[in-house]
Amino acid sequence: MKSLLIGSIVAIFLLTLSGCVIVAGDHDWDDNNWESQQRQNRETISGLELQAERSAIISKLGAPSFSDAFMKENDEYRVLYYRTQHTKSDGETTKDETTPLVFKNDKLIGWGDEVLATIR
């Protein structure tokens, strides 16, 4: 009877351990991935051509961290924000850590806070 009890306890213990997973090895990410992503975003943005199509920019840079869209005087404006500078280690990206790319009718008209200020 005692061996049956011990066997049952061992079986329960082993079943609970089978739910534990230990992951080791290579990852697609690392602690410094955000640094390389920011650097890559800065390099890509600095090489952009004015009047480029918004879809082409998204193909190069991927999804933005934030985006805004609005109409002004019958023109459609879209602002895509890409993370380019680290300010605070809080695990969240904020707009002050991004560079805005400004599009008028789906064409790139400039980037940076100064360009954004001229259309608001």
13 pLDDT more than 60: no
The model's pLDDT over 38-86, given as tens digits with 9 standing for 90+, comes to: 999 999 999 999 999 999 999 999 999 999 999 999 999 999 999 998 7
Mean pLDDT of 31-36: 74
Cβ neighbourhood burial of 41 (10 Å; 0-12, 13-18, 19+): buried
Q: Is the distance from CB of 99 to CB of 84 less than 8 angstroms?
A: yes
Burial 81-117 (b: 16+ CB within 10 A, else e): bbbbeeeeeeeebeeebbbbbbbbeeebbbbeeeebe
Query: For the chain, which domains are there?
Result: 33-119 (3.30.1450.10)
> Could you tell me which of 86, 85, 95, 31 has the C-alpha nearest to residue 64?
95
pLDDT on residue 98: 95
Q: What is the pTM assigned to this prediction?
A: 0.69
What one-letter code names the amino acid at 76? E
